[in-house]
């Protein structure tokens, strides 16, 4: 039996990843809490707080060509007003020669609900270790 909250978190998380893939800052900002924190490779081991760091990449414009983002084996845990989703993020794209490639990252994203609305409050993205 599917849990509506789990489905909502998976749907919001997919919307977030798709907004990144198409360079859609409006949607990304709408889904994120302004105080979001993260660890990701671009931050070089530092904890980043806020949205400005992320906006830099959106301002560069969307990448050329098609892009499909898949959450592989996502696992959602809901704990009170917070939800944790963990998965491997697969992104299919074309390289400069037009050959299909796939990038892969381990991701954990935290969502928190307030006034009936879920917002993204923290994430950790790492290169796949396996
Ligand atoms: N680098 C932005 C994000 O993964 O949410």
* For the chain, domain boundaries: 4-127
Distance 117 CA to ligand 1 centre (A): 20
Mean pLDDT rounded to a whole number for the chain: 96
Look at 19 and 129; give whichever has higher pLDDT. 19
- pLDDT of 130 over the 80 cut: no
How far apart are the C-alpha atoms of 52 and 100, rounded to whole Å? 31
Q: What is the position in ligand 1's atom list of the atom closest to the CA of 107?
A: 4
Best probe residue, ligand 1, of 17, 40, 122 (max atoms within 8 Å of C-beta): 40
Q: What pLDDT does 1 receive? A: 57
Domain 4-127 = CATH 3.10.450.50: yes
Per-residue pLDDT reduced to its tens digit, 49-77:
999 999 999 999 988 899 999 999 999 99
Per-residue pLDDT reduced to its tens digit, 1-35:
589 999 999 999 999 999 999 999 999 999 999 99
Q: What percent of the chain has pLDDT over 90?
A: 95
How far apart are the C-alpha atoms of 52 and 103, rounded to whole Å? 24
Q: What pLDDT does 63 receive? A: 86
Closest CA to 13 of 105, 102, 118: 118
Q: What pLDDT does 2 receive? A: 80
Q: Is the CB of 28 under 6 A from ligand 1?
A: no
How far apart are the C-alpha atoms of 118 and 111, rounded to whole Å? 6
Q: What is the position in ligand 1's atom list of the atom closest to the CA of 109?
A: 5
């Amino acid at each position: 039996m599917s849990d509506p909250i789990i489905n909502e978190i998976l749907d919001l998380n997919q919307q977030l990843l798709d907004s990144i893939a198409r360079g859609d800052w409006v949607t990304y900002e709408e889904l994120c809490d302004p105080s979001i924190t993260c660890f990701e490779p671009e931050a070089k081991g530092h904890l980043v707080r806020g949205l400005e760091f992320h906006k830099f990449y959106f301002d560069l414009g969307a990448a050329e060509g098609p892009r499909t983002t898949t959450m592989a084996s996502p696992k959602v845990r809901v704990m009170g007003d917070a939800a944790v989703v963990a998965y491997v993020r697969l992104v299919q794209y074309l390289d400069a020669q037009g050959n299909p490639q796939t990038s892969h990252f381990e991701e954990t994203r935290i969502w928190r609900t307030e006034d009936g609305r879920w917002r993204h409050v923290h994430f950790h993205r790492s290169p796949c270790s396996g």
